[in-house]
Amino acid sequence: MSAEVLALTAAQAGERIRAGELRSADVFAAYRDRAAADELNAFVWVADDVPAAAAADAPLAGVPVAVKDLFCTEGVPSQAGSKILEDYRPPYTATAVRNLQQGGAPLLGKTNQDEFAMGSSNENSAYGPVRNPWDPTRVPGGSSGGSAAAVAAGLAPWAIGTDTGGSIRQPAALCGIVGMKPTYGAVSRYGMIAFASSLDQAGPLTRDVTDCALLLRHMVGQDPCDSTSVAFPEEVRTPSAERLDGIRLGVPEELTGEGIEPGVLENFNATLRTCEELGATIEPMRLPHAPHALSAYYIIAPAEASANLARYDGVRYGLRAPEYDDLLSMYTRTRRAGFGAEVKRRIMLGTYALSSGYYDAYYGRAQQVRTKIADDFRAAFAAVDFVVTPTSPNVAFGLGSKTDDPWAMYLNDYCTVPVPLAGLPAISIPSGLSEGLPVGFQIIGGAFSENRILDAAYALEQAIGFDGSSARGIAGPDAPRPGQERRPDGGKG
Ligand code: GLN
């Protein structure tokens, strides 16, 4: 049963369930058992009981979904990869997750992530690092590393994550799956434990583009609980394009040259030739301010994080230091014990950038750069349909190989960070292998162009014919049992 279920994409499993050829309870149990035997440390909590079958007409047909730890899930641990939220069980469920449940996708489990979504390798989790199913000595990318590894390894049919600077697209690329960051505001942020509120956006991580469209369709929507959410202007359609005739693809000089690993660049150029064979035209172009995106991001995101993370004070959620003298020492000891090194670094950077006397020089400047980057994209989309780049400058790297060098780590997001700064949607699809490891191809579009991006991605996906099945061989006995959660530092790092 498990092998039969595992061979299906989520959309295919849903069709078989609706046709009466497969029971949703069997699909759930097959994935639950695989998730519970996870050797990659992709899950921090796995559901226990098989849920009641979804309604016969439920669009997601009972195919279960893995959810990044930072989405609040009622009564279920929601720890955002942090020790400071140890055992936090929220009294409500995030809108994005609730929308999926209402569509008929029950919660399979909570996936490991970098603490508060800060990271590019999943090594900043208090619950231990995640391993890449293509090579367990390497990272899966981050911060949605658990979601990406779970889907790639066939421990979950599909998953959701969040992307602030690249955290859906980069791990999708490093794990050989599809990941999409929607237009800012398309998916409600209500119940997402916040990192940088003007950038955070939830989206799907899936085996293929069809699954991506199906999952996204049931995530989007305006939510009275998130005033920055907007109604998606049309239904997210099932993609069906076979060609790219008449599509103009802009290739920005700044993001497709220096700093990109040779094997990745070679694959990117080969993918461009495939696009041409499908009828697209390739147009060299410029995004003059894109090289400054990382610098602006590493002011803006930490600034917002320093404000968002002020709420973890030992009073309201999770951890409280066991010993203290007075209120102030309770706060400081709780935060010293509860936050990891990267989170502390970001809080210090952000607090500094926002402090009086430095605000204009750093935060104000970064906001100006952000506007320039958005203007660059606006100008670009007057001339091309999509901007395309490699998703990540490199393939999956060795565990521990960049942990001592924050700047080397930050460079992972060189090609993904400009996109959320401009609020735009983008997808990463697997475009082949370099040295036996997956490479991702990024397609960026104008605001609310998700349907067109999905169509283009689908046509390209069919032409590339990427086979991710070899990564689905992994599952083992040493993992949290159903209904149990992992403890901080309990990962097998
Ligand atoms: N890697 C980037 C960071 O560390 C992006 C993270 C994200 O998108 N959540 O901030």
Q: Return the closest-CA partner of residue 115 out of 489, 452, 474, 444.
A: 489
Ligand 1 centre distance from Cα of residue 409 (Å): 10
Minimum-distance ligand 1 atom for the alpha carbon of 163: 8
**pLDDT at residue 147, rounded to an integer:** 98
Q: Is residue 189, in this structure, part of any structural domain at all?
A: yes
Average pLDDT over residues 197-215: 98
Q: Is residue 437, in this structure, part of any structural domain at all?
A: yes
Minimum-distance ligand 1 atom for the alpha carbon of 412: 1
Ligand 1 centre distance from Cα of residue 3 (Å): 35
pLDDT band at 492 (very low <50, low <70, confident <90, very high): very low
Nearest protein CA to atom 4 of ligand 1, as residue:
119
Ligand 1 centre distance from Cα of residue 166 (Å): 6
CATH assignment of the domain containing 30:
3.90.1300.10
- CA 280 to chain CA centroid, Å, is 28
CA 389/CA 377 separation, integer angstroms: 13
Query: How far from 61 is each of 18, 103, 252, 390, CA to CA, in Å?
Result: 7, 8, 41, 34
Minimum-distance ligand 1 atom for the alpha carbon of 144: 9
Q: Is residue 359, in this structure, part of any structural domain at all?
A: no
Lowest average pLDDT, out of 117-131, 228-242, 320-334, 463-477, goes to 463-477
Q: How many structural domains does the chain have?
A: 1
Contacts of the segment 313-320: beta carbons below 8 A, 24+ positions apart: 314/338, 317/84, 317/85, 317/88, 318/79, 318/82, 318/84, 318/85, 318/86, 318/87, 318/88, 319/83, 319/84, 319/85, 319/86
Minimum-distance ligand 1 atom for the alpha carbon of 196: 9
Q: Is residue 163, in this structure, part of any structural domain at all?
A: yes
The residue with greater pLDDT, 176 or 488, is 176
Average pLDDT over residues 387-406: 96
pLDDT band at 52 (very low <50, low <70, confident <90, very high): confident
Residues that are catalytic: 68, 143, 167
Q: Is residue 490, in this structure, part of any structural domain at all?
A: no
CA 268/CA 99 separation, integer angstroms: 36
Ligand 1 centre distance from Cα of residue 195 (Å): 9
Q: Is residue 364, in this structure, part of any structural domain at all?
A: no
Structural domain containing residue 93: 2-292+369-472
Nearest protein CA to atom 5 of ligand 1, as residue:
165
pTM of the complete model: 0.95
**pLDDT at residue 486, rounded to an integer:** 63
Taking residue 203's Cβ as centre, other Cβ atoms within 10 Å add up to: 31
Which of 116, 143, 298, 419 is the best mutation target for the ligand 1 pocket, counting ligand atoms within 8 Å of the beta carbon and taking the most?
Answer: 143
Q: Find all residues with CB under 8 Å of 150, minimum gap 6, and list them.
A: 35, 38, 40, 42, 43, 66, 109, 111, 156, 159
H helix or E strand, kind and range, residue 426: strand 426-434
Ligand 1 centre distance from Cα of residue 193 (Å): 14
Q: DSSP H helical segments within 313-417, as ranges? A: 327-338, 341-354, 359, 365-383, 406-410
Q: Is residue 186, in this structure, part of any structural domain at all?
A: yes
Q: Is residue 353, in this structure, part of any structural domain at all?
A: no
Pocket of ligand 1 (CB under 6 A): 117-120, 143, 163-167, 195, 301, 413
**pLDDT at residue 489, rounded to an integer:** 55
By DSSP bridging, strand 43-46 and strand 107-111 are antiparallel
- Tokens 């080969």 — which residue? 270
pLDDT for 369-384, tens place per residue?
999 999 999 999 999 9
